Amino acid sequence: MMLRSARSSSSSAFAAPLSAAKPRAARGFLTSPFPSLQTSSTSKSPFSSRSAYTGLPSRPTVLSQKTSQASFQPHLGRQFHATAYTMAEQRAETDAFGEVMVPGDKYWGAQTERSLENFKINQPQDRMPPPIIKAFGILKGAAATVNMQFGLDPKIGKAIQQAASEVAELKLIDHFPLVVWQTGSGTQSNMNANEVISNRAIEILGGKMGSKKPVHPNDHVNMSASSNDTFPTVMHIAAVLEIEHELIPSIKALRSALQVKVDEFEAKKIIKIGRTHLQDATPLTLAQEFSGYVAQLDFGVKRVESSLPDLKLLAQGGTAVGTGINTFKGFAEGIADEVSRATGIEFKTAPNKFESLAAHDAIVQASGSLNTLASSLFKIAQDIRYLGSGPRCGLGELALPENEPGSSIMPGKVNPTQCEALTMVCAQVIGNHTATTIGGMNGQFELNVFKPLVIRNLLHSIRILSDGMRSFEKNLVVGLQANEDKIASIMKESLMLVTCLNPKIGYDMASKVAKNAHKKGLTLKESAMELKALSEAEFDELVKPELMIGPEDYKGK
């Protein structure tokens, strides 16, 4: 049977949907993503490793002694161009533009090398995130499995599966040097994956790296695919895995820690003064206040989960413009089935590939749910920060854990560092969403060309929110304590307890009592008695904070 292949186009890529949450403990996978490559039960899941998320090489790059001072620049951004290779240390790779010399110890080929030279933009700090590399490995292995059903030589297909499995496990992370700032379709990163898997498969089969024989990066690794449908598929796989394995468990863990505080404060029946507009208001319990934070996170996780179904729709099979040229019937469905089997998450083929390539609404929606979550977390962290202000001259209602010294000049000062870190994370996530929204707009005709930007921002937001919430939970919420004496003293001084007098003496008289007390420095009781609004006994009967924290039963007139 004639093999069908789609050469990677210079335009290319689009996006896909998400899924539901699994507890962190259930993140391990004991089998290889690909059926013919069973791994031992002790191997780590390629989908749960966090070691390489930084985007930096998993092993330090060692500069050759042949490095010339002229070529070496100490800035890390030139790390991949710092080594001066001799001709003996290089090999020739070719593409449609001709021959290119590449490092002999790297699996990448000509198109990757050209991208390294053409896009020297904050290398290597802005390398394509490792979740994308993992997803490439998952997808390329799945494609090999399906393509073997449509004529791909099984010998070649199995070698591709093995190489792709190593990519999914991040064993070859050092061979993915490209930055996010490249073609808007992600073509260079797709070819980076094709070249690495091709050369590794050639090596497995005993061939010569760079020969493209017996495994060709386009004809075999990229068989039945385009960058335009591959990169969006990878985007969705990566987003779903990160949301399910990192973000949702982090939200739930913080939510649980806050619920523990609600229960603790409720058991102590701590009543405090409420505040609206940063001014004194009527009382509530500390448990009620914290229950609002718990509810925010309950809604937050639902919003995130609601973005998963659309992210679980895969673009693969649309090829160049969504028509599916150079594929066979059943290929797209086969890819979704294989990715589902490899990840343990149910993915489906997108019902409309034109939308999948040209728009990234699912990514923008997911980013929007993170934007809302960031807004919630910002409010929670700010409240706790202000309530913990002091220790003597602030509100001081909460005692925050003292984790580190807070000042290089003021001895004994301790700052609300976890609150500040989390609110900075939230600000970054909100900024990421703005850029992602702009990226989502930029689908001209049949292809969105801001793909690397939108997925980089989404994955960045997922990761820093996940880590930020874990840090906030562990280093602040767990050790948070109520300063009951300070809470009680503040509440006694509040003039807003006068609100409970309204039903008895009316709003106008109650207002006079409060203003008189404030003007003369009296207590509410003293002011009410001075104005003859109430007797002492009547005041004591009405002003009971414990009766002001919820609606009362109607007893009739």
Which DSSP string corresponds to 313-358?
A: EE-TT-TTTSS-TT--TTHHHHHHHHHHHHHTS--EE-S-HHHHHH
The answer on pLDDT for 1 being more than 70 is no
Q: What is the mean pLDDT of residues 418-438?
A: 99
443 - beta bridge partners? Answer: 448
- Write the CB contacts of 39 (distance below 8 Å, at least 6 apart in sequence): 30, 31, 32, 165
Local confidence band at 554 (pLDDT 50, 70, 90 cut-offs):
confident
Note whether 304 and 384 are within 8 A (CB). Answer: no
DSSP 226: -
102 - beta bridge partners? Answer: 91
Q: Which two tokens stand for residue 285?
A: 């319990």
Q: Which two tokens stand for residue 367?
A: 């980013």
Note whether 157 and 145 are within 8 A (CB). Answer: yes
Separation between Cα atoms, residue 198 and residue 237, nearest integer Å: 22
pLDDT of residue 85: 64
pLDDT of residue 83: 56
**SS3 (DSSP) at 408:** coil
The answer on pLDDT for 201 being more than 60 is yes
The answer on pLDDT for 130 being more than 90 is yes
pLDDT digits (tens, 9 = 90+) for 84-95: 566 669 999 999
**SS3 (DSSP) at 448:** strand
Separation between Cα atoms, residue 266 and residue 273, nearest integer Å: 15
pLDDT digits (tens, 9 = 90+) for 315-333: 999 999 999 999 999 999 9
Q: What is the mean pLDDT of residues 6-29?
A: 35
Task: Let me know how long the chain is.
Answer: 557
Separation between Cα atoms, residue 410 and residue 421, nearest integer Å: 21
**SS3 (DSSP) at 202:** helix
Nearest to 247 by CA among 18, 25, 466, 24: 466
The answer on pLDDT for 381 being more than 50 is yes
**SS3 (DSSP) at 90:** strand
Residue 211 CB-density burial (10 A; 0-12 exposed, 13-18 middle, 19+ buried): middle
- CA 341 vs. chain centroid, Å, equals 24
Q: Measure the CA dihedral 408/412/416/418, to 10°.
A: 70
Q: What is the mean pLDDT of residues 279-293?
A: 97
Note whether 9 and 230 are within 8 A (CB). Answer: no
pLDDT of residue 28: 34
Lowest average pLDDT, out of 101-105, 335-339, 418-422, 499-503, goes to 499-503
Alpha-helical runs (H) found in 388-474: 417-441, 451-472
Phi, psi of 540 (to 5 degrees): -65, -30
What pTM value is reported for the model?
Answer: 0.85
Phi, psi of 140 (to 5 degrees): -65, -35
- ∠ CA(25), CA(27), CA(33), 5° rounding? 155
pLDDT of residue 87: 63
Local confidence band at 404 (pLDDT 50, 70, 90 cut-offs):
confident
Which sign, positive or negative, has the C-alpha torsion 254, 257, 261, 263?
Answer: positive
Fold of 494-547: Ribonucleotide Reductase Protein R1; domain 1 (1.10.40)
Separation between Cα atoms, residue 50 and residue 55, nearest integer Å: 11
Q: Which amino acid is at 268?
A: K
Q: What is the mean pLDDT of the chain?
A: 88
Separation between Cα atoms, residue 82 and residue 103, nearest integer Å: 12
Phi, psi of 314 (to 5 degrees): -105, 140
Q: Which residue has the higher pLDDT, 79 or 239?
A: 239
Separation between Cα atoms, residue 81 and residue 83, nearest integer Å: 6
Separation between Cα atoms, residue 174 and residue 151, nearest integer Å: 32
pLDDT digits (tens, 9 = 90+) for 350-362: 999 999 999 999 9
pLDDT of residue 152: 99
Nearest to 19 by CA among 316, 330, 246: 246
Separation between Cα atoms, residue 139 and residue 435, nearest integer Å: 27
Nearest to 109 by CA among 176, 155, 172, 56: 176
Q: Hey, what long-range contacts does 211-218 have (CB within 8 A, 24 or more apart)?
A: 212/94, 214/153, 214/155, 214/156, 215/156, 215/159, 215/160, 217/109, 217/191, 218/5, 218/6, 218/7, 218/8, 218/194
Judge if the upstream peptide bond of residue 124 is cis by omega within 30 degrees of 0: yes
Judge if the upstream peptide bond of residue 74 is cis by omega within 30 degrees of 0: no
Percent of the chain past pLDDT 70, that is, above it, reads 84
Q: Which two tokens stand for residue 1?
A: 């049977």
The ranges assigned to domains in the chain are 494-547
Show which residues are catalytic: 277, 407
pLDDT digits (tens, 9 = 90+) for 463-517: 999 999 999 999 999 999 999 999 999 998 888 889 989 999 999 999 999 999 9
Q: What is the mean pLDDT of residues 268-290?
A: 97
List of E strands, 468-547: 481-482
The helix (H) or strand (E) run that includes residue 133 is helix 130-147
Nearest to 57 by CA among 1, 105, 3, 93: 105
Q: Determine how β-strand 279-285 pairs with β-strand 348-349.
A: unpaired
Q: Measure the CA dihedral 82/84/87/90, to 10°.
A: -20
Which sign, positive or negative, has the C-alpha torsion 144, 147, 152, 154?
Answer: positive
